[in-house]
Amino acid sequence: MAEQFQEPIVEQIYTLNLGPQHPSTHGVLRVLLDLDGEFIVKADPIIGYGHRGHEKMAENRTYKQFMPNTSRMDYLSGLLFNHGFVLAVEKFAGLEVPERAKYIRVICSELNRISSHLLWFGTYIMDLGGFTPFLYCFDDRENILDILDRVTGSRLTYSYCRFGGVTRDIDAEFISMTRAFIDRLRSRWTDYHNLVTKNVIFIHRTRDVGVITPELARQFGVVGPNLRACGIPFDVRKSEPYELYDRFDFEIPTGTKGDALDRYNVRLQEMEQSCRIIEQALDQLPEGSHINEVVPFKVRPPKGEIYFAFESARGLTAYYLVSDGSPYPYRCHIRVPSFGNLQVLTEVFRGTLVADAISILGSIDVVIPEIDR
Amino acid sequence: MSKSEKITQKLQAMLPEDDVCRDESYQGGVVFSARVPLGKLRDAIKEFDEAGYYLESIAALDFQDTFELVYHLNCYEPRARIAIRVPCGHDQSPATVSDIFPSALWQEREVRDFFGIQFTDSPDMRPLLLPEDADYYPLKKTFGMVHAYHKRDEIYG
Amino acid sequence: MGSEMASDWIRIIVGLIIVLAFSQVNALFLVWLERKVAGHIQLRYGPMEVGPHGILQTIADGIKLVGKELITPLAADWKLFIIAPVLVFMPVLVAFIVLPFGENLIIRDMNLGVLLIFGFSTLSVLAILAGGWAANNKYALLGAIRSVAQNVAYEIPLLLAVLSVVLMTQSLRFSEIVGAQSRVWFIFLQPVAGLIYLICATAETNRAPFDIPEAESELIAGFHTEYSGMRFGLFFLAEYTNMFIVSAVAAALFFGGWHGPFGLSLGIPGVVWFLAKVYVLLFVIMWVRWTFPRVRFDQLMNFSWKVMLPLSLLNLIVTAAVLKFI
């Protein structure tokens, strides 16, 4: 459609506010659109409606007390953020973790990744007008939430990981539920592909829509499935392997064109790869303790800093911790993937239709509270 | 020669010897960190742009004697992250790099929101996360409840 | 002469009362049916609380709507704003007069029956435009404009498909069209026209996948954003009654009306056959809504002008040619 877009006549531009309360903006996002008819001339995202001051809170709490905050930044990948924080502090302070705990953390993180992608899938199709897959995805997601509820006690915002391991050990029931869930999810792929992926209306609404070129992605710092859909196979789990990911055999799905359909396909295949990782982890699960008892109550990392990057559901996330030797961090800066992913929209929205804008916004998969922190 | 080695050589040519410290074990998450004076910031960032890096994050640190801006840049190869440290006094204004890396625009707005560091020549310095009429800088160590306020050498010594 | 006129008048009055009652009950029933169909497609039950299996849910919703405050925006054109919901509902009621419910169950078997229905259904487009304009809201105006464009575009292939059937029976009278299908339903003789009619009817009634004018996730609620209380209720009921009308016309024109399959009535009265066909078609329309995502607006217009229109014209020409030479 962008080829048909010509430069607008200034008097005809009118401003529309895609307000903070809107069924399709995921979280409180406000986009000021300058429209010429149905084409978008300029898009200006305005954020900050959910700023809670996590970075300031981090400086006034010990490392352990900051744990619940990590879940609440990106509430859809709460366990992944937990996991990343714990890994950062363990690497910083040089703490040992038993093998079983590492496997448990990997399994729970990958389950969380699948649940985040399932929710994205349902809400994306709902934005486009198909209301039914949303409920199918939530049905699948309930299984994951039940599995994680058994062992962590929470459904959405977890504080399961501890420095040196995890709070509670998993039992045989957890393992059998997880295996049953993976089999069930694999049997659902045919349903999802028949209902959505092969649907001609869906393909027309996502093919060649919102193309992000690799150069644009590099300039704006786009990471995660959006970057992999452009064709660049960059995944932190492969490039800087942390916590046993070098022991598992999984692939990085990539796309070719960088349009919304590629981003959709990449995320669906990522769910399948996560299933593979979970299966291998369950097969390799050793016996042992679930936590390292010798870890001090108040962790005091040495003076210095660490920048630890991990792969959350949305892309490369990093904790930048500066410590002065006391149990309180001196500075904790969190680099979230949605920062770059949302910023690239100012370029991509230019010249598209409003209906396409909703499709692009959904396919980028931003979670606003993680930008607002 | 990998991208990170190329850029290491370029930076070592630009800066004095002891300002570029390598970390082979990748313990701190960076291959090396370079201390770049305020005036040479834009030249260094331009080198990174030409080498095919992307800007990952801009973080600011508040010390008693100075601010310090830390730019983390990364490329798509394994283990290639580089940190650039820019000391910036409490009254100084660094130059913006948003024309080289557009992703810096929002990062700089956030730094200005939290620390009050103004970036010169930036096309957009509206508040990003704070309300439009905010006149306080929350992450400075003179605001609100603060546990510790050190000089830079007490930490990096 | 006098008693004939009197019996005519009695027939009209009784028929009107029955039709009014039926259309209201039908609208209530359809709202409940939609929620149940939606629920079961989405792996859940739908309304279950109010009455057995939630059958009284619509009445509860109606009472709620009647009790709400009728808000008129300050800068709105209040005359148009108040008239628009009434204007939307009126034409669909008129269409009930000519529907062939059974062999002798047509209130007024006009010789222009088909034309009457389509003439009046175009009036509702005006009402949507009035409603969207009068609300003084950018979103409502966008929704109204899109709705008018969509309705106008899909009206033409719809009428051409109907024209193909009319060519075969050489009459616009409903009783004659249905009577001509006593052995073979027209859907088997004119499958293309039937398909075009069903697609265009879905677009005419603003149902998904063509529900851009009320696209929830894009424009909040489209042209009825600013309406509250029973005014919104009227728009809502008018949509469902409109659905009934287009399904009834499809049943009469393509699926044999009050005839059973192959002319066998199997002891079941014609009106039951007719209503069964109408409700099956309604179920299909609802089924389609909950399965497909929404079509983008320019793709919708392209589809109408570049695909539907040539296809229906071709169908008309082929029908005329076959009738001439056979």
Q: Which residues lie below 8 Å from residue C223, measured CB to CB, with a gap of 6+?
A: C128, C131, C132, C135, C140, C143, C144, C147, C213, C214
Task: Give me C318's structure tokens.
Answer: 């082929």
- The model's confidence at residue A81, banded by pLDDT at 50, 70 and 90, is very high
Q: For position A333, what pLDDT does the model report?
A: 92
Asked whether residue A126 carries a pLDDT value surpassing 70, the answer given is: yes
C286-311: average pLDDT: 87
How far is A17 from chain C, CA to nearest CA, in Å? Answer: 10
Q: What Cα–Cα distance (Å) separates residue B124 from each residue in A34, A371, B102, B107, B112?
A: 18, 18, 11, 11, 11
Asked whether residue C242 carries a pLDDT value surpassing 70, the answer given is: yes
Chain A residues whose CB is inside 8 A of the B149 CB are none
Q: For position C317, what pLDDT does the model report?
A: 92
Domain membership flag for residue C176: yes
Q: Tell if the CB–CB gap between A48 and B130 is shorter than 8 Å.
A: yes
Domain membership flag for residue C291: yes
At residue B77, the 3 state secondary structure works out as coil
A252-258: average pLDDT: 88
Asked whether residue A180 carries a pLDDT value surpassing 80, the answer given is: yes
Residues B124-157 have pLDDT tens digits of 888 888 888 888 888 888 888 888 888 887 777 6
Q: For position C224, what pLDDT does the model report?
A: 67
The total of structural domains in chain C comes to 1
Domain membership flag for residue C186: yes
Rounded CA gap, A112 and A80, in Å? Answer: 7
Probe site for chain B from A47, A52, A332, A333 (most B CB atoms < 10 A):
A333
Q: Classify residue C3 by burial, with Cβ atoms within 10 Å: 0-12, 13-18, 19+.
A: exposed
Asked whether residue A2 carries a pLDDT value surpassing 50, the answer given is: no
Q: Which domain holds residue C179?
A: 73-325
Asked whether residue A155 carries a pLDDT value surpassing 50, the answer given is: yes
Q: Which residues lie below 8 Å from residue C40, measured CB to CB, with a gap of 6+?
A: C46
User: Do A24 and A357 meet the contact criterion of CB atoms below 8 Å apart?
Assistant: no
Q: How many residues would you count in chain B?
A: 157
Residues C309-322 have pLDDT tens digits of 999 999 999 999 98
Q: Name B70's bridge partners.
A: B59, B85
Q: For position A1, what pLDDT does the model report?
A: 43
A215: closest chain B residue by CA: B52
Element (H, E) at A84: helix A78-93
User: Do C112 and C97 meet the contact criterion of CB atoms below 8 Å apart?
Assistant: no
Asked whether residue C221 carries a pLDDT value surpassing 80, the answer given is: no
Residue with the larger pLDDT of the pair B44 and B15: B44
Residues C61-78 have pLDDT tens digits of 888 888 888 777 777 777
Touch criterion met for B and C (3+ Cβ pairs within 8 Å): no
Which residue among A331, A333, A343 sits closest to B103, beta carbon to beta carbon?
A343
A137-152: average pLDDT: 90
Q: For position A104, what pLDDT does the model report?
A: 92
Domains of chain B from N-terminus onward:
3-144 (3.30.460.80)
Asked whether residue C230 carries a pLDDT value surpassing 60, the answer given is: yes
Q: Classify residue A72 by burial, with Cβ atoms within 10 Å: 0-12, 13-18, 19+.
A: middle
Q: Which domain holds residue A201?
A: 2-372
Cis amide prior to C209 (ω within 30 degrees): yes
Touch criterion met for A and C (3+ Cβ pairs within 8 Å): yes
Residues C244-262 have pLDDT tens digits of 999 999 988 888 888 877 7
How far is A187 from chain B, CA to nearest CA, in Å? Answer: 35
Lowest mean pLDDT among A134-138, A239-243, C18-22, C217-221: C217-221
Domain membership flag for residue C101: yes
The total of structural domains in chain A comes to 1
Domain membership flag for residue C212: yes
Q: For position A334, what pLDDT does the model report?
A: 92
Residues A290-340 have pLDDT tens digits of 888 888 888 888 888 889 999 999 999 999 999 888 889 989 999 999 888
Residues C77-118 have pLDDT tens digits of 778 888 888 888 888 888 888 888 887 777 777 888 888 888
Lowest mean pLDDT among A219-228, A259-268, B138-147: B138-147
The answer, as to whether pTM is greater than 0.95, is no
A337: closest chain B residue by CA: B56
- The per-residue pLDDT of chain C, averaged, comes to 83
The end-to-end CA distance of chain A, in Å, is 36
Residue with the larger pLDDT of the pair A284 and A9: A284
CATH code for the domain of A317: 1.10.645.10
Q: For position A35, what pLDDT does the model report?
A: 82
Q: For position A198, what pLDDT does the model report?
A: 87
Asked whether residue A59 carries a pLDDT value surpassing 80, the answer given is: yes
